[in-house]
Amino acid sequence: MDPEDLDRDPHVQFERWFADARAGGVAAPEQMALATASRAGIPSVRMVLLKGHDERGFVFFTNRSSRKGRELGENPHGAGAFYWEPPHRQVRIEGKVETISEDESSAYFQTRPRESRVSAWASPQSEPLRSRDELERLVADAERRFVDVEDVPLPPFWGGYRIVPSVIEFWQGQASRLHDRVRYERDGGSWHRERLAP
């Protein structure tokens, strides 16, 4: 893989590789490892689902009072990683993270199954629970709250984020372990490409 083989726009290149992963039967190619860090720089990582991508960045949704939401409130930078096997490819992204509008969040929220919308209201994400029973009671309480509500609304503490990348790296694994790596780095309004050692 040569840098010149890839599109000049890393967003276009990502879409190509993402489509290849889907077409190749990768289970849940939208799974993304998301890394955030506290104000003190202590990192944490977890899996989220990519729910949108365009030239503005990579979108995911979560409870804003969760650990990742709190960390992004303190330190609005993040990194994401996708790994697809086959075709033995990885994409890494790094950049600032911004909240998306309430209208965008609400539009996505309404596409979720009703049970998932109720669960978003019920779960105090990342907070300690005494038992599974406590969680199930919270869900039952939320079900009663919305029993006559057809369109469960967006919770005020839930919504989307967009990673606005300054770096996007494409990695193609090789049997020799002399893997191909190409990094795109934003340089003003354009992208600079370069090959990296494996």
Distance, CA of 198 to CA of 121 (rounded, Å): 45
What's the one-letter identity of residue 183? R
Whether residue 177 lies in the annotated active site: yes
Catalytic residue among 89, 92, 177, 186: 177
H-helix or E-strand spanning residue 68: helix 67-74
Distance, CA of 129 to CA of 126 (rounded, Å): 9
Strands 57-63 and 52-54: antiparallel
Distance, CA of 117 to CA of 38 (rounded, Å): 28
The Cβ of residue 105 has, within 10 Å, a number of other Cβ atoms equal to 20
SS3 content of the chain, % helix, strand, coil (to 5): 30, 35, 35
Which parts of the chain are beta strand (E)? 31-37, 43-49, 52-54, 57-63, 77-84, 89-99, 158-172, 180-187, 190-196
Q: Which residues are catalytic?
A: 177
